[in-house]
Structure 1
Amino acid sequence: MIRLITLGSLLGLVLVGCSSTSNSAFQPALNIELNIEATGDINVFEDGEARPVILRIYQLNDVGNFDKASFTRLYSDDQSALAGSLIDTKQLSAVLPGEKRTLVLDVQQQAKFLAVFAEFSNYETATSKSSVALVEEPESYPVFIAITHDKVEITQPVKEAWWKF
């Protein structure tokens, strides 16, 4: 009888240990619409011809390391440059001059910022990185990446209520 009670108690503990709570470590990713638009004159080489550009999208919990990192540091070792703040990264296929692209980005719920890094050929004078703080309920508002000549910019506009001035 004591053996049966002990076995029942152990089984109960095992089942409680396997139950989930509302504070589960796993949280599903947020699906955020990402719109990319490039002008026809992006990433122009010395011959005057526009070329495709590679983009990397970073999910960050802080932008300090991203803002401080140089082009060459991000290009060659982004994992170490963003250590401590990097949640996830995604390299996109090359964006062509004049291209418009829409995709859905799976963003981890811990991410507070999205950042973009563009691999421009003329990186010394280009604006090759940009970041945006995610808004409350980020899946409700699309993110936009604009690529113009030698500049990349990321935004997440929020429509203001009509009664706010």
Structure 2
Amino acid sequence: MISKRQFAAIAATGLLGLAPAVASAAPPVLSNLVVEPTILMLGSGSQTINISVSASDPDGDLDQEKTKVTVKFVDKTKEKMILLDQGGGQFAGQIEINTATTQPFSVKIKAKDLAKEKAEKLTIANPRTIVQVDPQTGRQTIISNRQAGMGLPFLSLTDIVS
């Protein structure tokens, strides 16, 4: 009979055919974020925004209940929701945006796996707004700036100015 110490030494050298355990910790990856519609009418009350995103995890342990969206408003209130698995790595959900005000807000998409590895967040934010007025139609567009680059969508609130 061998001691625990001898067994550990043998196992470490691979003589028993046991490969040393290697932690394969790869975080989830979020991509293909789609936010629709991208234009909301100011003052039209609560409007529904559809959000979909692709989520994958190289080591296969994506926690489907940890793929979620958070909307954070300037007054520090938050709205959180778990995105639902649509199959094929697609997750989707809906959030409500109050169009009565142009207060800044941000939308963050997060994902975790079972090993608690976190995906790089996707963020759409409008820390300030840009107002554009079309001189021909009088249409005023308030565009929400976005902080994240790489072609991520943005939201804008539009109003007709008389």
Measured against the shorter chain, the TM-score band is: 0.3 to 0.5
Q: Could you tell me the TM-score, scaled by structure 2's length?
A: 0.39
Higher relative contact order (CA 8 A, sep 6+): 1
- Of Structure 1 and Structure 2, the greater strand share is in 2
Q: Which has the higher helix share?
A: 1
* TM-score, reference length from structure 1: 0.38
